[in-house]
Amino acid sequence: MEKRVLILCTGNSCRSIIAEALINSKLKGITCDSSGVKASGRVNPNAKKILEDKGIWKESYYSKNIDKVIDNTYDLVVTVCDNANETCPMFPNANKVIHIGFEDPDGKGFDAFVDTYNEIEEVLLPKVIDALE
């Protein structure tokens, strides 16, 4: 049975989009969405570039507000920034909510996005697997 995960951030432009793409491409049997508590409405160009470079970018990835996903059923909700963790609304259809914080690469050079990608892959993916067991 396929598991559903939501990655929640503030702007839904960098970390949560990267995490969504990584989970969808690397974790079998798991479908992931992302959203922001105050979505920016745009995907950061460097976040898109790192995902394109890794071959996991999809045109269906976009910055969306939490109201687009609040009524979906999720096995796991993961907040990836402190603001989203502090302002995370109640998800009536989520089995579990965890926080795994990452520094925001927005406004920094491309290398910061490479570092964020690597950190999310190394830290977040194993924790998602553990949380869903």
- Residue-wise pLDDT for 50-74, tens only, equals 999 999 999 999 999 988 998 899 9
Where in the sequence numbering do the catalytic residues fall? 9, 81, 88
In the chain, how many domains are there? 1
Q: What does the pLDDT look like over 11-29, one tens digit per residue?
A: 999 999 999 999 999 999 9
Q: Is the pTM of this model over 0.85?
A: yes
CATH number for the domain including 60? Answer: 3.40.50.2300
Q: What does the pLDDT look like over 31-50, one tens digit per residue?
A: 999 999 888 999 999 999 99
By residue range, what is the domain housing residue 24?
3-132
CB of 66 closer than 8 Å to CB of 37: yes
Q: Considering only CA atoms, give the Rg of the chain.
A: 13
